[in-house]
Structure 1
Amino acid sequence: MQQKKKNGFQIMLELLGMIRPLMGFMLLAILMGCIGNLVATFITILGGYGLLSVAGLYNKLTITTIFTVIIIFAVIRGILRYAEQACNHYIAFKLLASIRHKVFASLRRLAPAKLDGNDKGNLISIITSDIELLEVFYAHTISPIAIAIITSVFMCVFIGIIHPVLGVVALVFYLLIGFIVPVLNSRRGREKGQEYRDSFGELNTSVLDNLYGLEEIIQYGQQEKRQSCLAKKTESLEKIAKELKKEESIQKISTDWIILFAGIAMLGVSGYLAGQGEIEGGMSLIATVAMISSFGPTAALSALSNNLNHTLACGNRVLSLLNEEPIVLDNVTGEEDCSGDIICDGTTFGYENKVVLNNFNVTFKENHIHGILGKSGCGKSTLLKLLMRFYETNKGTISYGKNVVNTIKTSSLRKNVAYVTQETYLFHDTIENNIKIAKEDATREEVIEAAKKASIHDFILSLPSGYDTIVSELGESLSGGERQRIGIARAFLHKSSIIFLDEPTSNIDSLNEGIILKSLEEEKEDKTIILVSHRKSTMGIVDHMVNM
């Protein structure tokens, strides 16, 4: 997946754009967060006034009144904190559900070409962990930034009322902790954050690859090699994680030292002003206490920069997927007629810099069985994908009768063509429902008829629950040949006028292959069938054969 280079600000703006429908809840969370943090700060400030009252340096409020207000503020703080977090998490989970919906919609738009590569582990990483990490952004980033800004401005004014110079001192340290430290830390860790997410996706792909090929790995003694490769990817990921943790530790130590120095600076400046008679002596204590106790929101903002590198990297990957343009756009307003001869006229196509088909010309006559014979890698499967318009030709045309394939409505093309791929995917459902994917409203009798033609009926009946047998995840409870025959049964059930079969009998014994080929021969009336294979035995039923 090609990821556009975007800076953190651009990514944040795009992520913020998704929050518009829930802006009311976000403003409510910010309001409650501001009040809650200010209440927490003033609990400490009131404590300072209490000390001054005990020392006889403050008499505007009694000690009883001060402690009563502190207790009230403490209760209010707890309620507001809970309400703020509830709003933030409501927003986050609503948006995550919306983003997942958009991601799956994007994958439907990008498919099937998008899913034709070897990057499925990375896609799984985006759909699961990357989207999940966006919860940090929506629940723990947006409102804290707003809260830190608003509360810092308020406290600058409060401290500035004691003396303008003290307000400036407070502003300098708020900017230092809440802006300069996070920006510097973010710049240092941005590339590492993106590298971590990309490496995590690659590790997912490698794990998925090893799980799918576990039998082959064991059979050919590749365990050590595969384990070594996986260990290197894991070590690389851990190395990046340690570097990010190191940056996080530096940020924490820097923030703590700055807060300590801020307290000392405020005490020194306010003490000097008190010595000059510009403020009362007790106000020096209040200014210092107000300064130190109000760093909570800005310190949290400083700490955000560590997770923000991860979060923005995740956001970039998710947004890149959402903004990715499909290789082929669905035609929603085109022609609906797919009848007639299928004609390839000067068809040329290649993946990136590799040409697979070059000036390919052939006519597949309507209502005939056509065979395409050739060795692996010659472009047989690619031709079927071009006929299905999973990809578009680089040069030349493909036509169904009088209509060029690009002008045919995509839904009509899918409706009129049954396509059996080399690998049949089975869902974790009953065998009947797996076959009925080709026709959801099919009766049991229609399913049985299709299964018989695919030479899978007797096998299904031998299972404990027959057609109601649940297929295990990824269809692992069935052999490759059994899965392949279920795929062929789907094609028979689809009752389309055109059938494409890509190596349909490669995993099937000669007896069952003969039964299936006989069924195809019986089905050829009013159907155009294109049969791709590298085996000459499969070509026995064809009316016309193309060598590639």
Structure 2
Amino acid sequence: MARMIGLVRPLAPHLALAVALGTAGSLAATFVAAFGAYGIMAAVGQGAGLSVAAACVLTVACGVLRGPLHYGEQLANHYIAFRLLALIRDHVFAALRRLAPAKLEGRDRGDLISLVTADIELLEVFYAHTISPITIAIASSAIMLAFIGAHSLPLAAIALAGYLVLGAIMPIASSKLCGNAGRASRDAAGSISAYVLDGLRGLAETVQFAGVSKRSAGLAAQTDAMGSTDRSLHVRSAAVEGLADAMVLLTSLAMIATSLGLYAAGDLSFSSAFICSFACLSSFGPVLAVCRLGTSLQATLASGARVLDLLDEEPQTVDVLDGADASFDGAACEHVTFSYGADSASGSGSSAAALSTDDRILDDVSIAFEPGEMVCVTGRSGSGKSTLLKLLMRFWDPTSGAVKMSGRDLRGVNTSSLRSSIGYMTQDTHLFVGTIGDNLRIAREDATDAELDSACEAAALSSLIARLPQGYDTPVAELGDSLSGGERQRIGLARIFLHDAPFVLLDEPTSNLDALNEAAVMRAIDRRRAGKTVVLVSHRASTCAFADRFYSVEHGRIS
């Protein structure tokens, strides 16, 4: 919670304004009853320093002012909340960028969507309805204690006991009573989002293999589990509400009984006893708001913990900002050993030595990629071919050994320089919602239509563009579902041609293409490889036929 509060520091003046307005508003609401009590005492001849007219004016003034003051407090609080939510979203997306792609592989996309939407939205409750209400409760309670204490210290002690129980003891106790239920609820919500997103993506397969009832049962089971957790939270919240109301009643009765006792003993005037009782009865609003936070805030704090967990997560590789800008003059892997479950090393073999042979995706791999050549890497699925390309991109660092570009270890090359020198195409081409032109220009934003035409021609995509009535302005559905797998793959290839990097990594670039389009694409790659180094990962002999050298990866070894 301390870190969440710390984010408010730049907006401290706005928070101070919200607290001032909120305190004034709560006191105005309280003194509507207090000044009414003054008026009643004046009307029955038990004047306590205010005339009936003055008491009426002050009562009306407090009644009128409480509305604008409350509005001003809420306006300031929500300004703080929405400014901070924008800042937190910026931090979260920066964290996602920092963690991608290595730390995000295998993460549930639905859970991430839930985190960046619902979890961040829930933080609005904390920033708009938690920080200032606690401060307001402290300030207004202190002022009311001073007011009541000016009439009678025993009555002030009773009010203090009520404020402490409602504003401190009960919220802390109810928070401990809830335990980890709030976190369990938010985790369950993330799991449901992931399950629903997975189901939507695989809807065709679910229908095809008659799995609708099974998926529905799975969703119902997860929903019931989350509902059970939420019900327990609501039951505890209702219990706390009941106890709080009972505490208000007990404090009020104690205040009235003590006031009457002090009056009977001659230690307190009737007017003071009456006014203090009225003032105390109407002063519980701010502490009751804090009392409810013990249970209502659980989901919000759990959301905050999930967001902070993401912000605190360390990336697999840290971007290099103070290294060298290396122009491409060949690349090499030198005695590279790698396992996804091991920490990277800085050239030492200690980490690699601790790995069993079965854990090693790549084992003592040495390979050079010379300028101007095309190298093909083959091997069975899972043998480490794609992993080799990810190491060249420095998505991961090797467990031992070194990956180099232009003779320099990638850990000493500026990340932006490295990525601008490489064109990398994965097995799955992701298309964003937008137009075909938008998706192509991801590779180069300032590309002209003529350059798009050239890249599309090389990727055997020109005929598709020509058939579309809107050409490059044709909309693309979410995840590219309006296009076939081969068409999506050719768009990915066109991006590589458009990027025009000197080092090109192609992971199964023709796996979804027919023989005719494969031949056209490979001829285009062959024509455009002058001055470039191309690394192909492929199972197809026809694709590998264009390569200058062939390597086979088996059991982490390369030959």
Query: Shift in Å at residue 340 of structure 1?
Result: 3.3
Question: Structure 1 residues 375, 221: closer, same or farther in 2, change over 3 A?
Answer: farther
Unaligned stretches of 5+ residues in structure 2: 343-358, 554-559
Query: Shift in Å at residue 211 of structure 1?
Result: 1.5
Give the aligned CA root-mean-square deviation in angstroms.
Answer: 1.5
Kept after mapping to 2: 8 A contact 1:461/1:467: no
- CA distance in 2: counterparts of 1:338 and 1:346, whole angstroms: 23
Kept after mapping to 1: 8 A contact 2:145/2:159: yes
Of the candidates 252, 274, 298, which is equivalent to residue 287 of structure 2?
298
Equivalence map 1:32-43=2 (5 Å): 32-43=21-32
Kept after mapping to 1: 8 A contact 2:48/2:272: no
Kept after mapping to 1: 8 A contact 2:331/2:370: yes
Kept after mapping to 2: 8 A contact 1:341/1:401: yes
Query: Shift in Å at residue 255 of structure 1?
Result: 0.2
Which residue of the partner structure matches residue 13 of structure 2? 24
- CA distance in 2: counterparts of 1:359 and 1:143, whole angstroms: 59
Q: Residues 277-331 of structure 1: CA distance to partner in whole angstroms, max 9, x if unpaired? A: 1101232222221111100000011012222111111111112222222111111
- 2:38 maps to amino acid: Y
- 1:411 maps to amino acid: S
Query: Shift in Å at residue 494 of structure 1?
Result: 0.9
Kept after mapping to 2: 8 A contact 1:460/1:466: yes
Query: Shift in Å at residue 272 of structure 1?
Result: 1.2
Of the candidates 481, 487, 493, which is equivalent to residue 486 of structure 2?
481
- CA distance in 2: counterparts of 1:236 and 1:537, whole angstroms: 53
Query: Shift in Å at residue 52 of structure 1?
Result: 2.3
Instruction: Report which stretch shifted further, 386-395 or 281-290.
Output: 281-290
Which residue of the partner structure matches residue 431 of structure 1? 436
Matched, 1:248 2:237: yes
Question: Structure 1 residues 547, 220: closer, same or farther in 2, change over 3 A?
Answer: farther
Of the candidates 510, 529, 540, which is equivalent to residue 545 of structure 2?
540
Equivalence map 1:238-387=2 (5 Å): 238-352=227-341, 354-387=359-392
Query: Shift in Å at residue 66 of structure 1?
Result: 1.6
| 3-state secondary structure, aligned to 1:363 | strand
Query: Shift in Å at residue 338 of structure 1?
Result: 4.6
Which residue of the partner structure matches residue 403 of structure 1? 408
Q: Residues 59-118 of structure 1: CA distance to partner in whole angstroms, max 9, x if unpaired? A: 633323222211111111111111111111111111111111111122222222233223
- CA distance in 1: counterparts of 2:222 and 2:538, whole angstroms: 38
Matched, 1:140 2:145: no
- CA distance in 1: counterparts of 2:463 and 2:86, whole angstroms: 44
Query: Shift in Å at residue 433 of structure 1?
Result: 2.2
- CA distance in 2: counterparts of 1:517 and 1:222, whole angstroms: 40
Matched, 1:84 2:89: no
Kept after mapping to 1: 8 A contact 2:186/2:303: yes
- 2:455 maps to amino acid: A
- CA distance in 2: counterparts of 1:208 and 1:357, whole angstroms: 34
Alignment identity in percent?
A: 43
Instruction: Report which stretch shifted further, 364-373 or 216-225.
Output: 216-225
Kept after mapping to 1: 8 A contact 2:442/2:495: yes
Which residue of the partner structure matches residue 169 of structure 1? 158
Query: Shift in Å at residue 44 of structure 1?
Result: 0.6
Which residue of the partner structure matches residue 447 of structure 2? 442
| 3-state secondary structure, aligned to 1:438 | coil
Kept after mapping to 2: 8 A contact 1:342/1:399: yes
Which residue of the partner structure matches residue 4 of structure 2? 15
- CA distance in 1: counterparts of 2:459 and 2:522, whole angstroms: 9
Query: Shift in Å at residue 140 of structure 1?
Result: 0.6
Matched, 1:388 2:388: no
Q: Residues 483-516 of structure 1: CA distance to partner in whole angstroms, max 9, x if unpaired? A: 1100000001111111111111122222111111
Kept after mapping to 1: 8 A contact 2:38/2:48: no
Instruction: Report which stretch shifted further, 323-332 or 386-395.
Output: 323-332
TM-score computed with the length of structure 1 as normaliser: 0.95
Q: Residues 6-36 of structure 1: CA distance to partner in whole angstroms, max 9, x if unpaired? A: xxxxxx2111111111111110110111111
Q: Residues 143-171 of structure 1: CA distance to partner in whole angstroms, max 9, x if unpaired? A: 10000001111111111111111111110
Query: Shift in Å at residue 341 of structure 1?
Result: 3.5
- CA distance in 1: counterparts of 2:72 and 2:493, whole angstroms: 57
- CA distance in 2: counterparts of 1:517 and 1:348, whole angstroms: 31
- CA distance in 1: counterparts of 2:213 and 2:485, whole angstroms: 27
- CA distance in 2: counterparts of 1:144 and 1:190, whole angstroms: 23
Question: Structure 1 residues 87, 46: closer, same or farther in 2, change over 3 A?
Answer: same
Query: Shift in Å at residue 473 of structure 1?
Result: 2.3
Q: Residues 415-463 of structure 1: CA distance to partner in whole angstroms, max 9, x if unpaired? A: 1110011111112222122112111111111111110110111011101
Question: Structure 1 residues 357, 220: closer, same or farther in 2, change over 3 A?
Answer: farther
Unaligned stretches of 5+ residues in structure 1: 1-11
Instruction: Report which stretch shifted further, 519-528 or 239-248.
Output: 519-528
| 3-state secondary structure, aligned to 2:512 | coil
Of the candidates 491, 502, 513, which is equivalent to residue 507 of structure 2?
502
Which residue of the partner structure matches residue 353 of structure 2? none
